[in-house]
Structure 1
Amino acid sequence: MSTLMHPAGPEPEAVYWRRRIGVLVALLTVIIVIGKLVFSGADPTPIASSSAVPQLGEPSIAASIAANEPTSNPSNDSSDVQSLEPAVQATLQAGECSDNDVSVLVVADRESTNVGQGIHIEFTVKNTSGTGCTRDVGSGANEVYIMTGTTKVWSSDYCNPSTAKNPLRLASGQKWSVSIVWDGKVVGKQCAVGKKAQSGKYRVYGRNGELISRGTTFTIK
């Protein structure tokens, strides 16, 4: 015991104490290094858990991606477009005739007549297009009128105004006709019947919608 507390030897006691302290420091350093090596082999605590950084393979992420991706059959896919084509074609085939698709023709039954005598007029609408179409041939769309110079002396609308419609399907080249009689008298608006039409040259016209025929000339003697 006295040897531990009071080292004996040829050198001073302080030298032995410094040696002992140096050995203790070296031993402590070795112990600390060994401890670090032992504990460094354990699994470190992760900075962030796996749940905080989800993997692409997780069901929730996969479901989210699937929900936002376009489906293989969008609402405007080719099958839907194909199903609409027949309806569009049917609409075009059964569409209304434009003014370029039809012609209007009026023909008087004679080239001349006497004062006070009437004439028969044939009014015709013809589909001149290459396909069938529908045209309104009702009395509301049609008019036959007679002019002398710039004066209208008679109109089928003056005494028989109408708004009646008659949409008619006309095949390519098909005609629709109606006969009208003019009694040879001048008639004004509101069916104001006047005197007999006087001698001279007259022209008869036909109108269907906005389409007007060429005039047909006849003479009153």
Structure 2
Amino acid sequence: MLEPNGPLPPEIYWRRRLLAIGAVVVALALVLWLAFALLRGDGSDSPGANPSTTAASNKAAGSSSGASESASGSSSASATAASGAEAAPAGQPCPDQSLAVKVNVGQPTYKTGEQPVFGIVITNISSDACERDMGSGLQQISVQSLDGQRRMWASTDCYPDGTPDVRILNPGQQAAFTVTWSGSSSQPSCAGERVQVPPGAYTVVAQLGSVRSSPEPFNIA
């Protein structure tokens, strides 16, 4: 190196040169460090992408697996529902004890010559669905004196046959029918003369099989 020349002492110039050289060395070291860091960063990005890809693949696989389980669960539920439908009683006859019969009168009083109207309601009071022929030939609606001593009329006296009417009733379900009475008397097998029932108090009773309704009163004036 050349000896420093100037008005100042030589050691001052040497210090300045050392400081300048140190600054250059520091700057060079910094550049090398940054370059090395960038190279390391480029290398670490590639490995990092693989776990992400793997995670995405696993996630997709998990979603696919979940979809399959859901579909499987739906199939099981459908199969169970189908089994339940097949197991439900179908076409089971309604025994008498599974039914209740009620009768009502269209109005409390009818004039002589008018035709009283009776409503019949049959209810399945059991806990199972069942079926029963409720045709008019199997229903019997009868009119009696209020004291029950005189039988005035029955729907099956002159019309013992009727069209079958098979009804399927779920638990608690009802079947309703309407019968209109001419107001004339009748006897079994439609024997004897039919005459107009005189004014008075009467009761009507409906029956299906061995099941009878409670008597319902009405008047003919």
Q: Which range, TM-score by smaller chain? A: 0.5 to 0.7
What is residue 194 of structure 1 aligned with on the other side?
Answer: 194
- Deviation digits for residues 123-157 of structure 1 (CA, Å, limit 9, x no counterpart): 12111222211122122321111111322111110
Give the letter aligned to residue 215 of structure 2: G
Residue 142 of structure 2: SS of its match in structure 1? Answer: strand
What is residue 207 of structure 1 aligned with on the other side?
Answer: 207
Structure of larger gyration radius: 1
Distance 1:129 1:195 in 2: 41
Task: Provide closer, same or farther for how the CA distance between residues 181 and 174 of structure 1 changes in structure 2, counting only shifts above 3 A.
Answer: same
Task: Indicate whether 1:218 and 2:218 are aligned.
Answer: yes
Q: What is the TM-score when the length of structure 1 is the normalising length?
A: 0.55
Deviates most, 113-122 or 157-166:
157-166
**Which is helix-richer, 1 or 2?**
2
Task: Indicate whether 1:183 and 2:164 are aligned.
Answer: no
What is residue 129 of structure 1 aligned with on the other side?
Answer: 126
- Deviation digits for residues 33-57 of structure 1 (CA, Å, limit 9, x no counterpart): xxxxxxxxxxxxxxxxxxxxxxxxx
What is residue 9 of structure 1 aligned with on the other side?
Answer: none
Distance 1:182 1:163 in 2: 16
Contact 2:201–2:219, Cα closer than 8 Å, also in 1 = yes
**Root-mean-square deviation (CA), in Å?**
2.4
Contact 1:185–1:193, Cα closer than 8 Å, also in 2 = no
Give the letter aligned to residue 154 of structure 1: W
Task: Provide closer, same or farther for how the CA distance between residues 163 and 185 of structure 1 changes in structure 2, counting only shifts above 3 A.
Answer: closer
Equivalent position to 2:140, from 139, 143, 164? 143
Q: What is the TM-score when the length of structure 2 is the normalising length?
A: 0.55
Q: How does 1:24-173 map to 2 (within 5 A)?
A: 89-90=87-88, 92=89, 94-148=91-145, 149-162=148-161, 164-173=163-172
Q: How does 1:16-27 map to 2 (within 5 A)?
A: none
- Deviation digits for residues 195-221 of structure 1 (CA, Å, limit 9, x no counterpart): 211121111011111111111100112
- Deviation digits for residues 61-87 of structure 1 (CA, Å, limit 9, x no counterpart): xxxxxxxxxxxxxxxxxxxxxxxx98x
Note the residue ranges of structure 2 that are not aligned, 5 or more in a row: 1-82
Report percent identity of matched pairs: 24
Residue 187 of structure 1: SS of its match in structure 2? Answer: coil
Contact 1:134–1:169, Cα closer than 8 Å, also in 2 = yes
Contact 1:129–1:172, Cα closer than 8 Å, also in 2 = yes
Distance 1:193 1:161 in 2: 17
Distance 1:89 1:158 in 2: 42
Distance 2:121 2:171 in 1: 15
- Deviation digits for residues 163-221 of structure 1 (CA, Å, limit 9, x no counterpart): 65433210112111111111211122332442211121111011111111111100112
